[in-house]
Amino acid sequence: MTSTSWSTMLVVTVNAILFHAMPRFSRPDILFAVTVPEAFVAGAGRTLVSRYRAIVWSGAAAALAISVLLPTPEPGSGRGAWLMTGVVAGNMMVALAAWLLAHRRARAYAIPPSDVRVASLVPRDTSLPGGALLAVGPFVILLATALLMYTYRDNLPDGPGTITSFLALGGIYVAMMLTMAVSLARRTRQIAVDGPAAAAEQRFRRVNVLVLVLVAYGVAVQLSATTVASIPAFSDTLTGGLGFVLLPLMLFNFGVTFWMFRVGQGGQRAVAPAARQEFHGDATPDRAWKVGGLFYFNPRDPAVWVENRVGVGYTLNIGNLRAWLLMIGMMLAPMIAALLLF
């Protein structure tokens, strides 16, 4: 077997595991992106989940068999990469089709949306974890790198121009991450009104915001290290040193993913059933979720971010103008910066 076959098998297996776990991430009363009674999830809904998983794993088994049984392409022909892409894409399509089928079946058991909405009158903490001090950290790292590069400007093979642009682009990425973090902290609906369920939901949101702040740190550290490595005096030291910084960040991200799997969407699986909110679902109407719950489109909802129904974390309300401004800003800012700087 070639390395391409092994890579294909790894991707297919990881994909199957993710799709297998997907129903587990949802809130306890949401199944396949549909708001259903919690009793249904624990009862008849399990049959739906079993059938869905059977299709996912059958697709994965077929993809694995194809990647093993097909003849090994000649090295350098480029067919290996095509084969891998085809097998992985096919496997992904089967898994998505399984999800869409299960979603359609679950809709027969959907709970009609409630006309009553309830909110807490207690102001909640919408600040960034660690406050402004932690948020300026990535900018300080980039600025310190720029100063260091300025000091060693005579030792740079390509001159300081490109490197300054590189760091400025890093600054834009960091600003984007922090904008997303602020937006997520402030423009997300609090679903559980009070008690342990609300506390768990707020903790869950803050961890998500913290992840974005730490991603900003990761970007700043990575760019700074790459830049500083161009100075011969630092290149050897950085090779080993960078791992000490990035490894904890990676471990933290793995830890967070595992934690999210355990506590589920909005942290609600960690809350005792009796202490959960008295209203069903995530305060978004099922009809506003499109393509099996992948996209949320609700122009009448002022929330920019809502909880994902497929997977864990948050997604943008693509019916909201502010969400579009955020998305367009995210896409355009680095492109314009790259055009101007390089």
Partner 1 sequence: MAGALRVSLDLDSPTPAYRQIANDLRRHLVDERLKPGDLLPPVRQLAVDLGVHFNTVALAYRMLADEGWLELKRRRGAAVIARNAPRAVDRRQADRLLRRLAQIAAELRSVGMTSRQISSALRRLAQGARP
Which residues of the shown chain bind partner 1 in the complex (CB under 8 A)? 115-124, 126, 186-190, 193-195, 283, 300-303
Q: Are 205 and 170 in contact (CB under 8 A)?
A: no
DSSP 317: B
- What's the min distance (Å) between Cβ of 195 and partner 1? 8
Distance (Å, rounded) from C-alpha 318 to C-alpha 237?
46
Q: Which is nearer to partner 1, 86 or 113 (CB)?
A: 113
- What's the min distance (Å) between Cβ of 157 and partner 1? 49
Distance (Å, rounded) from C-alpha 78 to C-alpha 85?
11
Q: Which is nearer to partner 1, 97 or 275 (CB)?
A: 275
Residue corresponding to tokens 């978004």: 284
Q: Which is nearer to partner 1, 161 or 302 (CB)?
A: 302
Distance (Å, rounded) from C-alpha 340 to C-alpha 133?
30
Cα 110–chain centre separation: 27
- What's the min distance (Å) between Cβ of 281 and partner 1? 12
Distance (Å, rounded) from C-alpha 164 to C-alpha 70?
49
Q: Which is nearer to partner 1, 159 or 302 (CB)?
A: 302
Q: Which long-range contacts (CB under 8 A, 24 or more apart) does 317-324 make?
A: 319/288, 322/187
Q: Which is nearer to partner 1, 166 or 286 (CB)?
A: 286
- What's the min distance (Å) between Cβ of 43 and partner 1? 30
Q: Which is nearer to partner 1, 117 or 233 (CB)?
A: 117
- Minimal CA–CA distance to 323: which of 164, 184, 200? 184
Structure tokens that stand for 279 in this block: 């209203």
Q: Which is nearer to partner 1, 141 or 304 (CB)?
A: 304
- What's the min distance (Å) between Cβ of 190 and partner 1? 5
- What's the min distance (Å) between Cβ of 198 and partner 1? 10
Distance (Å, rounded) from C-alpha 220 to C-alpha 137?
9
DSSP 74: P
Distance (Å, rounded) from C-alpha 229 to C-alpha 226?
5
- What's the min distance (Å) between Cβ of 329 and partner 1? 19
